[in-house]
């Protein structure tokens, strides 16, 4: 038996569809420059817009609402503070958090 020659008009099964590619949502620097923030990135900013009675309540909300550890949350948040898209999405929150971050750096 001989193998059938591949059909030149058939789509390549090894080729990825453009919409199947990883959007890079977990890495703000990896996404396209004009791409919007991901739902997860927006959720991180939404958590920061709220006021919390204490760190325990905020950490609990991070785990329950976002399904991630507080360490991962703060890593994403720190990256968002340097992301132009986040500044365009929520300039008040991003600028406030940038000031807090700079004040903490100055104290070190």
Per-residue pLDDT of the chain (108 residues; tens, 9 = 90+): 555 555 545 445 444 433 333 334 444 444 555 689 999 999 999 999 999 998 899 999 999 999 999 999 999 999 999 999 999 999 999 999 999 999 998 988
DSSP assignments along 76-104, one per residue: HHHHHHT-HHHHHH-HHHHHHHHHHHHHH
Residue 87 lies in a domain: yes
Question: Between vectors from CA 33 to CA 29 and to CA 39, what angle results, nearest 5°?
Answer: 70
Residue 15 lies in a domain: no
Residue 12 lies in a domain: no
Residue 67 lies in a domain: yes
Number of domains in the chain: 1
- What is the distance between the alpha carbons of residues 10 and 6, in angstroms, rounded to a whole number? 8
Q: What range does the domain containing 53 cover? A: 34-107
- What is the distance between the alpha carbons of residues 50 and 67, in angstroms, rounded to a whole number? 18
Residue 29 lies in a domain: no
Residue 103 lies in a domain: yes
């Amino acid at each position: 038996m001989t193998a059938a020659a591949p059909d030149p008009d058939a789509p390549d099964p090894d080729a990825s569809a453009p919409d199947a590619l990883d959007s890079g949502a977990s890495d703000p620097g990896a996404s396209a420059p004009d791409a919007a923030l991901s739902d997860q990135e927006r959720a991180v900013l939404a958590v920061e817009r709220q006021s919390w009675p204490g760190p325990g309540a905020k950490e609990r909300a991070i785990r329950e609402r976002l399904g991630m550890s507080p360490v991962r949350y703060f890593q994403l948040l720190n990256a968002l503070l340097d992301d132009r898209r986040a500044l365009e999405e929520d300039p008040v929150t991003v600028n406030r958090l940038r000031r807090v971050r700079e004040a903490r750096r100055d104290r070190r």
